[in-house]
Chain A
């Protein structure tokens, strides 16, 4: 009998897709799914056409209108707060139809943020290679896919060849031990990890999330966890597939059916890391002690438990991180050694590929129910997909949000990035999104990242607040 060396999930999936080794570091990979959107996908489609080429495998390409399209109720086919939005949406629409790729338009009931839609519809599946011109494509690792963000030129290459050259990353395993306390969520797990290993901690790695707390997460929670892999500069993050994954995908529009489903599940069941498989790096987080997390700076590594005092820059790990700390306090207009709790906010935002799935809206609604947001606060909810919006409406969550004082929008990427709406300019926002970079959500906008429950509680109190006092 031949004994195989134990392999990680990553090694199995990568090896499954190697067409050819290009050099000591890189392989030419088969790409199972390409997802495009109107911001960068339009560039890839234009470049492809200018080069006189065509998509080679249209069945494996999906376009979703989500980055620039307006979230306003009653939106039209090209409505956008971005001045170039209408033309980019229309260009993408026309090119997608012309080439016959799968196309999900603004008014399609399947529409939504690509990384919410791809798992929902079974476009993504365990062991798939899935790429998209968006760094948060790592989200889709939550259903056991190997999914990563690429540039527009790489997308053009995938369109033309359905392959991509990539350097093979090293492997990291992050083990989340123990169980989350009530009021603590997947968002808090990933923020705590980034705080621990730093915004550069994942460069050159593919990260497997493991441990009891990850097994216990719903698939939606796993998608949140994987979403922010790129915030520690890790292109790939994933949770190997298990029974929960299969149940989540079963019956989805693009999931295999009948005998093909059984065949697929049998294969997917072999993908989990083998016992004894070795990782290049191991990190452990104890979830029994984990508190809700909130960022206080301009990098996601500038994060802490909600009850902390904002750290003095001099406590950072090195001179450069100290300089970043000083710039952060200056930009965020915060004082070192003062509490994060109670910092007044102007805006509460629930949306994005990170935290706008049904379970996220339920967590926020549990805090908002029967309460009103503090007068003067702007509060906005943009569901992650039209299906999430409809499901939330079916169980009355929209009414809880609206009665609390939230605006209830159509699904899209919305206010996660600043594409033209200056509504958050110079304001302090607590947000369920993934980036607290300078001016990310608007000119001089100061963003604090947190879970949906923390954002909802902060909307009610008008300041950074602990949801556990309200649940």
Chain B
């Protein structure tokens, strides 16, 4: 096995419903007629087009691209949540993606119950979870409140629990959609140390973030994604420069042009 992930010419094309032009601007009551006559048209949307990439052991790849370029979609595809419409995707190893880590908890259940529920959902047995609970409690510093329902937790406390839970298993292949950094000052360092240990423990990583400094400190290579295609693959510094010059500038030039046309 000389690679962890190998994607060859992968595309993801999804059928989409495009609601008819509502013209709410001209008449706000139009939405009533649209509710019953809902003339939506069917279309297809190419979320990813011809993406090829390999992730080798020890490699850490950064994903660069504008909002909506397809970074998260690509990560979800690599995590096995979506399947490619065309092309082939081979994955060797246990993949774990950290997406929306604070979703999916039960607000009525206590913190401790949520630890178990989440652990079971991640495929651990009840026994394995029992062994991990002290470690999770120690990391999240929630020992005093853990028996209370989750909806009494503050936002910060909930995030701590989410971070502790999602970093308790170190996967072989780590897919990160935005770096997890949160909490008050003291906790932030702790999270950072924990995240770095997870990254170090993983055989390979892919990280999508807009934080350039962070990407420079963690990744050595990058993929620049634009409108669902990989437009650059290779060295991180060159990639960042390419992104700055080609895509970012062009996009801002385009918006300037639009503004000029409108005025």
A, B in one complex: no
